């Protein structure tokens, strides 16, 4: 049985007694006293403990992730945890920390009560924890599984100083451009494969009075995702890494080139509904609605593989979205920009490592993938479990990617990469409003990068 925890005892262990380990009423007075002060919690919750009658309790682990217990994602993850419990007999105490996960985790670590497992939304958190030497490396068994089923990039992303610490369980492909396939077919349009073809298609549509692109620039992260995909294709993966680490400044010529390249598409005459100013007033959800509605006002939207989920939840459209991969720029090699959630361990207990090994298997991912809204980087996941062709195609692109780069804004400090109105988000919004003023914008980004 999975227990969703509201709070732990002082020692950080979950406030529950495993089934089948209840004590008789003839306890000694000393044992009762220990029970009253809570120390008995450690006794009954620790895996493999033994009662006065020599009975061994079931092992248990505590898992922390961002998916709230009452959310749809939390329920889906709960099914994965159920399957683990059924297979192993190991109980799981789950804490869905939401957006407070970094704070909740750091508090528990600082107090000496880390969970057994944490599922982290950013590899930067993994590296911070590994630097503190509080994570346990993967076992050889788990690493062998990863080397067989995952592209090397996923192992490297979950490593620190060449030591693998994590298993990527859930991922997202943020190099996808979504459109209505029926509209394309009726109008004899072909999805572009190069940047120049995309600009030409957009110009052709705008000349016919049709708005080609919807951009929800009121949400700064949308422009960040646009920039990252263009930058990795114009500057290359190595310079992408250097910019992420701030080894080159944001005033570098490669940043200015990427902005000029992006401007050719986003600031083209008639390319955006009501121009750049209209995009800056449009949220991401509204931009999806502009493309996928009965009265569509735009033709294409770039964003991650979560777009179909927004179509299903936030529109009444019967359209089944399809996508083409973010186009190559000047012959750039295929590359995927995305995100993901990586599971790490805080101890070497057998039950802890058993959970990581389970997450490394395709069967664990297939449970959630069948519901949609989930992509696995595991190449051995059965493609047929994904609910539609678009999700199967996106998952294949992600799992087979030879060049993958994590969302840059998730790798830098949140004051620079994930704060509304400032840093990358605010700087790129200002750039879209004043695309000719690249020198001033990049100077601002460089200043903000030191926050």
pLDDT in tens, 56-84: 568 999 999 999 999 999 999 999 999 99
Q: Do 199 and 318 sit in the same domain of this protein?
A: yes
Domain that holds residue 100: 3-173+339-404
Task: Identify whether the C-beta of residue 413 lies closer than 8 Å to the C-beta of residue 451.
Answer: yes
Q: Do 302 and 436 sit in the same domain of this protein?
A: yes
Q: Is the pLDDT of residue 37 over 70?
A: no
Half-sphere exposure of 337 (CA within 13 A, CB side): 29
Q: E strand or H helix at 337, and its extent?
A: strand 336-345
Q: What is the mean pLDDT of residues 101-120?
A: 95
CA 354, chain centre distance (Å): 23
Q: 59-92: string of b/e by CB count within 10 Å (b at 16+)?
A: bbbbbbbbbbbeeebbebbbebbeebbeebebbb
Q: Is the pLDDT of residue 175 over 60?
A: yes
φ, ψ for residue 194, nearest 5 deg = -125, 160
pLDDT-derived band at 31 (thresholds 50, 70, 90) equals: very low
Q: What is the mean pLDDT of residues 284-289?
A: 97
Q: Do 238 and 326 sit in the same domain of this protein?
A: yes
Please list the residues that pair with 177 across neighbouring strands. 302, 324
CA 51, chain centre distance (Å): 42
CA dist 102 and 270 (Å) reads 42
* Mean pLDDT, rounded, of the chain: 88
Give the per-residue pLDDT at 171: 94
Q: Do 121 and 143 sit in the same domain of this protein?
A: yes
% of residues, the chain, pLDDT over 90: 78
Q: E strand or H helix at 381, and its extent?
A: none
Q: Do 238 and 191 sit in the same domain of this protein?
A: yes
CA dist 96 and 67 (Å) reads 5
* Structure-token pair, residue 82: 């159920």
Give the per-residue pLDDT at 399: 85
Q: Do 35 and 121 sit in the same domain of this protein?
A: yes
Give the per-residue pLDDT at 330: 97
Give the per-residue pLDDT at 113: 96
Any idea what the CATH number is for the domain that residue 206 is in? 3.40.190.10
Q: How many domains are there within the chain?
A: 2
Give the per-residue pLDDT at 2: 58
Task: Identify whether the C-beta of residue 229 lies closer than 8 Å to the C-beta of residue 262.
Answer: no
Q: Do 160 and 71 sit in the same domain of this protein?
A: yes
């Amino acid at each position: 049985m999975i227990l969703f925890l509201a709070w732990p005892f002082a020692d950080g262990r979950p406030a529950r007694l495993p089934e089948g380990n209840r004590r008789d009423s003839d306890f000694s007075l000393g044992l009762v006293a220990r029970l009253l002060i809570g120390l008995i919690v450690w006794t009954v919750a620790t895996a493999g403990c033994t009662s006065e009658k020599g009975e061994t309790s079931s092992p248990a682990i505590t898992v922390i992730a961002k998916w709230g217990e009452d959310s749809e994602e939390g329920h889906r993850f709960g099914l994965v945890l159920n399957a683990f419990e059924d297979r192993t007999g190991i109980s799981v105490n789950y804490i869905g920390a939401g957006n407070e996960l970094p704070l909740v985790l750091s508090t528990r670590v600082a107090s000496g009560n880390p969970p057994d497992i944490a599922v982290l939304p950013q590899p930067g958190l993994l590296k911070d924890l590994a630097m503190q030497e509080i994570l346990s490396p993967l076992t050889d068994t788990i690493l062998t599984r990863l080397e067989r089923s995952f592209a090397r990039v996923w192992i490297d992303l979950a490593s620190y100083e060449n030591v693998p610490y994590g298993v990527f369980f859930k991922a997202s492909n943020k190099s996808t451009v979504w459109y209505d396939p029926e509209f394309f077919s009726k109008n004899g349009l072909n999805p572009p494969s190069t940047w120049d073809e995309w600009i030409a298609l957009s110009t052709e549509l705008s000349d016919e009075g049709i708005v080609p692109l919807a951009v929800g620039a009121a949400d700064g992260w949308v422009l960040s995702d646009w920039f990252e995909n263009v930058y990795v294709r114009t500057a290359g993966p190595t310079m992408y890494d250097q910019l992420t680490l701030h080894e080159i400044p944001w005033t570098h010529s490669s940043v200015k080139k990427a902005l000029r390249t992006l401007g050719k598409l986003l600031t083209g005459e008639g390319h955006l509904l009501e121009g750049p100013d209209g995009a800056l007033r449009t949220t991401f959800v509204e931009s999806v609605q502009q493309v996928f509605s009965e009265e569509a006002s735009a033709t294409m939207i770039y964003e991650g593989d979560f777009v179909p989920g927004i179509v299903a939840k936030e529109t009444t459209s019967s359209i089944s979205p399809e996508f083409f991969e973010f186009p190559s720029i000047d012959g750039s090699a295929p590359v995927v920009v995305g995100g993901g959630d990586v599971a790490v361990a805080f101890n070497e207990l057998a039950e802890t490592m058993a959970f990581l090994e389970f997450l490394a298997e395709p069967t664990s991912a297939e449970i959630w993938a069948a519901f949609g809204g989930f992509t696995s980087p595991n190449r051995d996941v059965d493609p047929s479990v994904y609910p539609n062709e678009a999700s199967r195609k996106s998952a294949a692109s992600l799992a087979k990617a030879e060049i993958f780069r994590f969302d840059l804004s998730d790798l830098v400090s949140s004051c620079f990469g994930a704060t509304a109105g400032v840093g990358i988000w605010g700087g790129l919004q200002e750039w879209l409003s004043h695309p000719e003023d690249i020198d001033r914008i990049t100077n601002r980004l460089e200043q903000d990068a030191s926050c």
